[in-house]
A and B are shown apart, each in its own frame.
Chain A
Amino acid sequence: MRCGDFKESYIKDEQIFQSLFVKFWLVVFILFLFVLPFMADPYVMYIANLIGVAVIAAIGLNILTGFTGQISLGHAAFAGVGGYTAAILMTRFDLSFWLALPCAGIMAALAGLVIGIPSLRVKGLYLCIATLAAQFIFEFIFIHWESMTHGIRGINVPAPTLGAIVIDTEKKFYFLTLGIAVLAVGFARNLVRSRVGRAFVAIRDRDLAAEIMGISLFRYKLTAFAISSFYAGMAGALWVCFMRIVTPEQFPFHLSIQYLAMVIVGGMGSILGSIFGAVFMTLTPELLNVISGAVSKAYPTLGQLFIPMKEVVFGTLIVVFLIFEPLGLAEIWRRIKAFFLLWPFSY
């Protein structure tokens, strides 16, 4: 804690911006995000979009898993529901992107409500398996509901438009992703300090105690599932519009695991952590891509080994973080801050 930084009320303690200093650097950071596309090449912008979508999805999953304590191994399926909803609305019904996006979120939230129902009856391991089953069932639907989803061939999605502007390049899309990601972060950050957010945390820490204190488990667990899937649906819709195509392969089981890995590596129960996690888990494989590209130029046989190495690194990160830093990058960040706040008298 900073010297002379006293909190006199609970409201003050829960403020998002604890000091002018924080506000200043946040504004600088957001300005940097807005200026970034004017100095970066398309590849960097592609990565930035990737990260933006991952941030939205990871925050959604963190609300469910990190804050409410309900494990979901089917987050990618909800993203898929959102993606397909957006694609079908935009191609069959010629709906504009701006209407299709919230519809995608709502559709995914409805799917989340259905999958959330078992959470009222079972928890822990069983819920985890139920959501895993849901993932495979949804994948099956994406592939086999040919008349709606066009099976494995997928659907081509038109680029979103804003007035006369067609959002079709990485750079233009970046502003869209950034805008929605900022909204998503802002909403989530406010949600978790509201009554609903505190109810989520209470359910995570001890569901029976929460119920006795008057928190309706039924309502809040389903709310958590709905909000989380809404986020996933938005992320899915954005992703689909960015790639301009939707296929079942875009939402495999592995993606669900990736989202969970982001939440764990970033820090469970922390919005900032989800952002860290999404950035970190997106950049690491890309970095490996770059390295493998460089290596395979020099040693073609060695370069081939790097493709599976991505999986090894991914798994190692999960295992190492779980064992050595269960609170994730957010905790590392907190420690670094604490170190400098008290410097040179930190201990």
Chain B
Amino acid sequence: MDILLQVLVTGIATGGVYGLIALGFVLIYKATGILNLATGIFMTLGAFICLTLLTHLGLPFWFAFIATVGFAILLGIAVERLVLRQLIGEPIISVIMVTIGLSSVLHGLTHVIWSPDYRSFPEIFPPEPLNLGFAVVPSGLLWGFIFAAVSMIVFISIFKFTRTGVAMRATASDQQAAQSMGISVRWVFALSWSFGAAAAFIGGIVIGNISGISIYLGDIGLKVLAVIILGGLDSIGGAILGGLIIGMLENLAGLYLDPLVGGGVKGVAPFLILVLIIMIRPYGLFGKKIIERV
């Protein structure tokens, strides 16, 4: 029983981080209809930039954090302006492949700039784990969860309560109507990309803080696809709930199935769940049901 609770708590903490990364996918998808498969490498970049600012320039963490988010916003705008805007109206395969190509370019550049060595994040949070009585949460996961939760609240508040957020939501529901109400759709697209990139960057920092930084940090980004499919591609609430569910299911699968097949289930379980969801309920828990049956 104890171990089950422990695994569930770990799952929820991991799930919070998944939720944040999923938010990075959803923010971009909702406004622009693009699935950004470069999210993984965005995470890696975020972690590396933050690490460099911390260790090489010796900046205090909060300052480095804000600067990293600034980088994310610039990167998001640059990617949207230079690459994705050229492909408006092209078939899905082109748009998906362009994000994959982009991810390959950024991955190579990361490799050139930072070398593929594994690095650990400097200790910025108190290392004491939190003892809940029935389970223990390691410090990295705990702070990761807190960070993810706070960032998500900030993103959602922007989305819900500011003028910009309203403009973004309007664009998501109907581009032409939004345009005719005086909203600059181009600006909203750029903004969505920078929000998405910022979410991915913060996710990268959190993951780097939990498990160290290497250029393969972003590989986790593909697992998060399961989260957004479960939650619904265009649902922010779905991303959060989906993150928690996938986090728990993944850890449970690791606990119960690993002994049966000899390890590694944690890595593949999200994909199995993903295939199941696509077969049964492709629009996920809260997604818009616009999928054509063919």
Residues of A within 8 A of B (CB): 65, 69, 71, 117-118, 120-126, 128-130, 132-134, 136-137, 140, 143-144, 146, 207-208, 211, 217, 253, 257, 260-261, 264, 268, 305, 307-319, 322-323, 326
Contacts and interface: CB of A to CB of B under 8 A. Distances in A.
Main secondary structure of the interface of A (DSSP, over half): helix
B292 A308 contact: no
Contacts of B104: 257, 311-312, 314-315, 318
A223 B10 CA distance: 44
Given A126-B282, A130-B274, A132-B222, A312 B105 contact: yes
Contact of B108 (A118, A144, A309): A309
Interface residues of B, number: 46
Given A130-B275, A257-B100, A318-B98, A65 B93 contact: yes
B279 interface: yes
A130 B278 contact: yes
Contact of B279 (A65, A121, A140, A257): A121
Nearest to A117: B279
Contacts of A134: 275
A310 B108 contact: yes
Main secondary structure of the interface of B (DSSP, over half): helix
27 contacts: A121-B293, A122-B291, A128-B35, A129-B35, A129-B274, A130-B275, A130-B278, A132-B225, A133-B278, A137-B272, A137-B275, A144-B262, A253-B222, A264-B93, A264-B97, A305-B112, A307-B111, A308-B109, A308-B111, A310-B108, A312-B109, A315-B101, A315-B102, A315-B104, A318-B101, A319-B102, A322-B98
Interface string B38-57: 00000000000000000000
Nearest to A145: B261
B139 interface: no
Given A120-B294, A137-B275, A305-B112, A319 B92 contact: no
B278 A118 contact: yes
Given A126-B282, A140-B271, 14 more contacts: A65-B93, A117-B279, A123-B294, A126-B291, A129-B35, A137-B268, A140-B264, A143-B264, A144-B264, A308-B109, A311-B105, A311-B108, A314-B108, A322-B87
